[in-house]
């Protein structure tokens, strides 16, 4: 959702939007590239703000009006550019690693539960997948470490 706060004198644009997982990144990047002031609002905060306004319904129109009222209460200093490609890259690596870890655990549990039902071709395929998940997770962790160090160079010092 995009809400504008426009002071008439200087015609400054202020953008407010709810955090929407990965869907907001394109908007963040666009606003950042064009040097627009922006603020990402936590949906939990917005939920309570709407309750404060006695709004019992929740839909896109009501949320937009709520965000409009909410950002009008903020100071210009509250609007910060929040887009950082390296942080988005690191988050994608971490999310992928976590997904692979979960899939590996599920597959490992499944193969353990099926050990009495011996089907050599299928068992070998599942073991191969387990090995692939393990190797892929290690490789992604190495790549994520590179991005982390690029983003936060002091991590190496802390790690040592």
Q: What is the pLDDT of residues 52-90, one digit of tens each?
A: 887 777 788 888 888 888 888 888 888 876 677 888 899
Which residues does 35 contact at the CB level (< 8 Å), separation at least 6? 81
Whole-number Cα distances in Å, 63 to 57, 76, 96:
9, 21, 31
Chain centroid to Cα 42, Å, comes to 12
Over range 95-121, report the average pLDDT: 96
Q: To which residue do tokens 């193969």 refer?
A: 111
Greatest mean pLDDT range, 4-8, 69-73, 89-93, 107-111: 107-111
> Per-domain residue ranges for the chain?
3-78, 85-159
pLDDT at 120: 95
Q: How many CA atoms lie within 13 A of 112 on its CB side?
A: 6
* pTM exceeds 0.75 for this model: no
How far is 133 from 141, CA to CA, in rounded Å?
12
Which residues does 145 contact at the CB level (< 8 Å), separation at least 6? none
pLDDT at 37: 84
């Amino acid at each position: 959702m995009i809400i504008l706060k426009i002071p008439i004198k200087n015609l400054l644009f202020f953008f407010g939007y709810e955090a929407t997982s990965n869907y907001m990144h394109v908007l963040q990047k666009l606003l950042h590239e064009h040097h627009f002031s922006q603020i990402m609002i936590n949906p939990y905060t917005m939920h309570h703000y709407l309750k404060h306004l006695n709004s019992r319904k929740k839909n896109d129109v009501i949320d937009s009006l709520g965000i409009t009222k909410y950002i009008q209460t903020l100071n210009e200093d509250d609007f910060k550019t929040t887009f950082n490609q390296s942080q988005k890259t690191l988050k994608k690596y971490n999310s992928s690693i976590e997904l692979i870890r979960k899939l590996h655990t599920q597959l490992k549990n499944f193969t353990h539960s099926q050990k009495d039902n011996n089907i050599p071709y299928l068992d070998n395929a599942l073991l191969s997948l387990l090995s692939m998940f393990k190797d892929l997770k290690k490789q992604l962790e190495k790549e994520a470490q590179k991005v982390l160090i690029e983003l936060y160079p002091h991590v190496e010092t802390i790690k040592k």
